[in-house]
Structures are given as C-alpha cells and as structure tokens.
Amino acid sequence: FPESRRTREGAARLPVAIYVCNRPHYLREVLGALRRAAGVEDVLLIVSLDADSQEMLDAVRSVDFCAVRVLFHPQPVVAIGAVGGRGSDGVLVVKQHWLFLVRQVFDGIREMRGYKGDVLLLEEDHVPSPDILVTLRGLLAIKNRGEGACAGDAGCWGAYMKFGCQGEGKETDIYKACRVKWFVNTGVAFNRSVFEAIEASDFESFRDGWDWSMYHLIQTRQLLPCQQGDGQIDGQTNAPSGVRR
C-alpha cells in the first residue's frame, strides 16, 4: 500500500479503524460512503481483515481518497450467521477481532506510536453519512474541552455515532437519525487513556460482546461515566447523525 497522503495544511489526521468479516459487498458500500464524507482526505484509514480474501484486498486497494493501512486478524471470525445472542461463542470471536484492532491501532501501527488522541472504530456494515467526520470532530472537541454533558470532574470517555433511519425502509434522508439511548454495535471513538483503562480491566474476560463489555466497565466504575442533564448515566457524548446499517 502507498505511503500516507498529505493532509490539508494545518489539518490534524483523524484515524478511522474498521474491522471486517468476510463480507466484501458490505465493505465496498462502506468505503464508497466514506469516499463521500466531508473531510475524508484528513483520515488515516485502518482496515483489519479476518481472512486473506483477494476480493476484500481489492476493495481496500481501491481507496485513493485518504491514507490507508491494512491488518490481518490472526484468528478468522466465524460466519455472521453463527454469531448468535449475547455471550455466544460467535459474539466473543467478533469481540476478539475488535480488541485485536484496538491494540494494533494504539500499540502496533508505526504511524500511531505515541498517538494519544481519539480513534473512530466502525464495522464494515456501518455505512457513514456524509457529515460523520464533521460531526465527530465537533463532538470530540466538546468532549476534550469538558463542555456540556462532559463538564465536571467525571468528564466523558468517548463519543458514539448513532444509527440513522435510512435503513428502516421508510426514510430516505441520510442525515435523519433515529433516537436511541445506547451505543450497542455503533460507531465509537475514544483515546489512548480509555484503551489503557480497557487493558487494565476485566474487559477481555467478561463474557459478552465488546459493546456490552464496555457497559460492564461503566457499571463497575472501571470506566468513569458522566452525568447527563436529565440525570441519566451515560459514558459518552452522542451524535444525532453518523452511521446506519
């Protein structure tokens, strides 16, 4: 793969990492949507594949709109149809791939060594809306300044991008979002301090998917939540747009 393209002058590079099961048609759709995202030229795209698939490699090689790096997960993920419910073996294998990618992003990739900022993590069936990067940068600025719901001593540990409504069959507006109160299986962004908290916790041994394992860390105060204005506990700042399935 070619060396990193230059970002716009003065622009900070935003790492976006995607873990991919052997579903090249989904991957191509996500890459096509990401190509149309405003500000994508400033992205370092990291794609982790669970199989040595020529079709998936060709899809990643087609990326010419930002810098790209490719990883291979050493333990292939089982077919999506076999994942099953919470705590099933399939869900745990997908979690292993997610954790492998996070570890590579913060500790393995040359360009990321010493990086302490935020990284956006997506699946290959999370189709980004055109404003995902602009929205995310705004959220991360609020989080990192400790404003709004992230004010106070606790702060916020990350940001997540909610599902849009377009995939529900009756909505065509790619900017319209469905209201949700969770970050289960969504795009999520956090920084090195959160990664280090994950590594120091029982995240890996907790028998559930990566998303419910994060909830577990919040519930057990291994990750500090922040207090929302409505009195509810939420570990993240959330966006009204972003990814859809």
Identify the band that residue 88 occupies on the pLDDT scale cut at 50, 70 and 90: low
The answer to whether 159 touches 140, Cβ cutoff 8 Å, is yes
Q: What is the mean pLDDT of the chain?
A: 74
- H/E stretch holding 199: helix 192-199
The pLDDT of residue 51 is: 80
- Whole-angstrom distance, CA of residue 32 vs CA of residue 155: 35
- Whole-angstrom distance, CA of residue 16 vs CA of residue 21: 17
The pTM of this model reads 0.77
Identify the band that residue 146 occupies on the pLDDT scale cut at 50, 70 and 90: low
Q: Which residue has the tokens 């995902």?
A: 132
